[in-house]
């Protein structure tokens, strides 16, 4: 079998890249380790930047996103029993974010791929890229007990942090930068109206909490928890009690509770692998970098990587120019590092670190006061939150 591009992974980055390539008449096969149902069951991101929304529009799949996505002009920071609004729209000259679940976006992209008749192999095991340092790369995989080989021009590693593509690169060719945080996020989904129509990021002596949503009838809440905890050890009642303790009184009173239908713990980590290109293999999204979810940047970074890679591949096929491919890693990493910095900063600003000195704690609290009282500081936050230009 031969394809122009083989994409490994059918998360948002693989699906979006596949759709953009299809629209440009470039033939791409997606190989996905899990089943379609499993991919669709993962509850993750919720906040989309304008650039991400525009990419989904560009592939003609924003119908549901435009109709059901919740446009947010601001976010709130809550601490010392008070709520402070950051007016994203006013501070950025009219920009906003859209709240739309990653699960829904993935479903829309998968449906578009099916309608286009583009092929995805689900439950492809032992996927392995080969020969990407030369002119004739290929990818092998096993499906239904049979080993297959696909020859191609390029391989896109869209297989997330735990994927194979980054690991397939010789260690000496890759540099990694990492920071882990001594806590996680326990998140739940519940069929109850959200506490507020905008997101509330709360910093409390007992730890961080986030009030988010998926729709006017579905809430997504998170609380900072200890690193090694298990989601099952938290009952719904314990979760709701802890969430309320961390919110200002008026917000706590407004929390509507109900049974959770999803409960999971995410570990928090900052990670970057450099470069993002190895010959004819290109890394995209979580395969190359991870940010803590505090800044809502992970999925949006995956989308900007895809944008740069798509432009480069289109240029290659249309003009036989490798300029875009040569520039890909540098362009993507410049934006990635800014989001890594912002996500790290938001994490430090809003969480309680078990080992924080009293001095560090005073500085953190002063910075929170500064960001919520200075227009200049709030504008810098807003500019990053709505998304830096592509």
Q: Which residues are catalytic?
A: 72, 201, 293, 297, 385
Minimal distance, residue 163 CB to ligand RFL, in Å: 4
Q: Which is nearer to ligand PHB, 291 or 309 (CB)?
A: 291
Q: Identify which range of 104-112, 231-239, 290-298, 351-359 contacts ligand PHB by CB under 6 A.
A: 290-298
Query: Which of 47, 139, 202, 251 forms a contact with ligand PHB (CB under 6 A)?
Result: 47
Task: Check residue 243 for interaction with ligand PHB (CB under 6 A).
Answer: no
Minimal distance, residue 290 CB to ligand RFL, in Å: 7
Minimal distance, residue 360 CB to ligand RFL, in Å: 25
Minimal distance, residue 167 CB to ligand RFL, in Å: 9
Mask: binding to ligand PHB, 291-330, rule CB under 6 A, as x and -? Answer: --xx-x----------------------------------
The partner in contact with residue 294, picked from ligand PHB, ligand RFL, none with C-beta cut-offs of 5 to 8 angstroms by kind, is: ligand PHB
Angle, alpha carbons 51-53-57 (nearest 5°): 115
With CB under 6 A, what is the number of residues at the site for ligand PHB? Answer: 9
Task: Check residue 46 for interaction with ligand PHB (CB under 6 A).
Answer: yes
Minimal distance, residue 373 CB to ligand PHB, in Å: 22
Render the burial of 131-160: b for 16+ CB within 10 Å, e for the rest: bbeeeebbbebeeeeeeeebebbbbbbbbb
Minimal distance, residue 303 CB to ligand RFL, in Å: 8
SS3 labels along the chain: CECCEEEECCCHHHHHHHHHHHHCCCCEEEECCCCHHHHHHCCCCCEECHHHHHHHHHCCCCHHHHHHCEEECCEEEEECCEEEEECHHHHCCCCCEEECCHHHHHHHHHHHHHHHCCCEECCCEEEEEECCCCCCCEEEEEECCEEEEEECCEEEECCCCCCCCCCCCCHHHCEEEEEEEEEEEEEEEECCCCCCCCEEEEEECCEEEEEEEEECCEEEEEEEEECCCCHHHCCHHHHHHHHHHCCCHHHHHHCCCCCEEEEEEEEEEEEEEECCEECCEEECHHHCEECCHHHCCHHHHHHHHHHHHHHHHHHHHHHCCCHHHHHHHHHHHHHHHHHHHHHHHHHHHHCCCCCCCHHHHHHHHHHHHHHCCCHHHHHHHHHHHHCCCC
Q: Which is nearer to ligand RFL, 139 or 378 (CB)?
A: 139
The partner in contact with residue 184, picked from ligand RFL, ligand PHB, none with C-beta cut-offs of 5 to 8 angstroms by kind, is: none
Let me know: does 135 contact 252? Beta carbons within 8 Å: no
The partner in contact with residue 137, picked from ligand RFL, ligand PHB, none with C-beta cut-offs of 5 to 8 angstroms by kind, is: none
Site of interaction with ligand RFL (CB under 6 A): 8-14, 31-34, 39, 44-47, 102, 124, 127, 158-160, 162-164, 185, 187, 266, 285-286, 293, 296-300, 302
Q: Which is nearer to ligand RFL, 234 or 362 (CB)?
A: 234
Minimal distance, residue 298 CB to ligand RFL, in Å: 2
The partner in contact with residue 159, picked from ligand RFL, ligand PHB, none with C-beta cut-offs of 5 to 8 angstroms by kind, is: ligand RFL
The partner in contact with residue 8, picked from ligand RFL, ligand PHB, none with C-beta cut-offs of 5 to 8 angstroms by kind, is: ligand RFL
Mask: binding to ligand PHB, 176-205, rule CB under 6 A, as x and -? Answer: -----------------------x------
Note the residue count of the chain.
390
* Residues paired with residue 2 on neighbouring β-strands, in sequence order: 151
Q: Which is nearer to ligand PHB, 123 or 262 (CB)?
A: 262
> Beta strand pairing status for 281-283 and 154-157?
parallel
Binding site for ligand PHB (CB under 6 A): 45-47, 199, 212, 220, 293-294, 296
């Amino acid at each position: 079998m031969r394809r122009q591009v083989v994409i490994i992974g059918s998360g948002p980055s693989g699906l979006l890249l596949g759709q953009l390539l299809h629209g440009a008449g470039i033939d791409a096969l997606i190989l996905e380790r899990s089943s379609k149902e499993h991919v669709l069951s993962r509850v993750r991101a919720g906040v989309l930047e304008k650039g991400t929304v525009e990419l989904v529009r560009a592939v003609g799949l924003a119908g549901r996103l435009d109709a059901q996505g919740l446009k947010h002009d601001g976010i709130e920071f809550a601490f010392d029993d008070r709520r402070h609004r950051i007016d994203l729209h006013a501070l950025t000259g009219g920009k906003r974010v859209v709240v739309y679940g990653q699960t829904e976006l993935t479903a829309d992209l998968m449906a578009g791929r099916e309608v286009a008749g583009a092929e995805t192999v689900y439950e492809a095991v032992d996927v392995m890229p080969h020969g990407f340092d030369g002119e004739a790369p290929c990818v092998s995989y096993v499906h239904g007990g049979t080993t297959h080989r696909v020859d191609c021009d390029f391989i896109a590693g869209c297989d997330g942090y735990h994927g194979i593509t980054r690991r397939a690169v010789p260690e000496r060719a890759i540099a990694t930068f990492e920071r882990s945080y001594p806590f996680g996020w326990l998140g739940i989904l519940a069929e109850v109206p959200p506490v507020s129509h905008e997101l509330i990021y709360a910093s409390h002596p007992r730890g961080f909490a986030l009030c988010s949503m998926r729709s006017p009838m579905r809430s997504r809440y998170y609380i900072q928890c200890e690193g090694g905890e298990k989601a099952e050890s938290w009952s719904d009642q314990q979760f709701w009690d802890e969430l309320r303790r961390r919110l200002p009184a008026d917000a706590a009173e407004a929390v509507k509770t109900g049974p959770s239908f999803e409960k999971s713990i995410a570990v928090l980590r900052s990670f970057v692998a450099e470069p993002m290109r190895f010959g004819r293999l290109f890394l995209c999204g979580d395969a190359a970098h991870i940010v803590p979810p505090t800044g809502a940047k992970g999925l949006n970074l995956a989308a900007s990587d895809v944008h740069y890679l798509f432009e480069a591949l289109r240029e290659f096929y249309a003009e036989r120019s490798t300029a875009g491919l040569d520039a890909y890693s540098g362009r993507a990493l410049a934006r990635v590092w800014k989001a890594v910095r912002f996500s790290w900063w938001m994490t430090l600003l809003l969480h309680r670190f078990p080992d924080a000195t009293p001095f560090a704690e005073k500085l953190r609290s002063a910075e929170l006061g500064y960001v919520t009282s200075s227009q200049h500081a709030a504008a810098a936050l807003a500019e990053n939150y709505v998304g830096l230009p592509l």
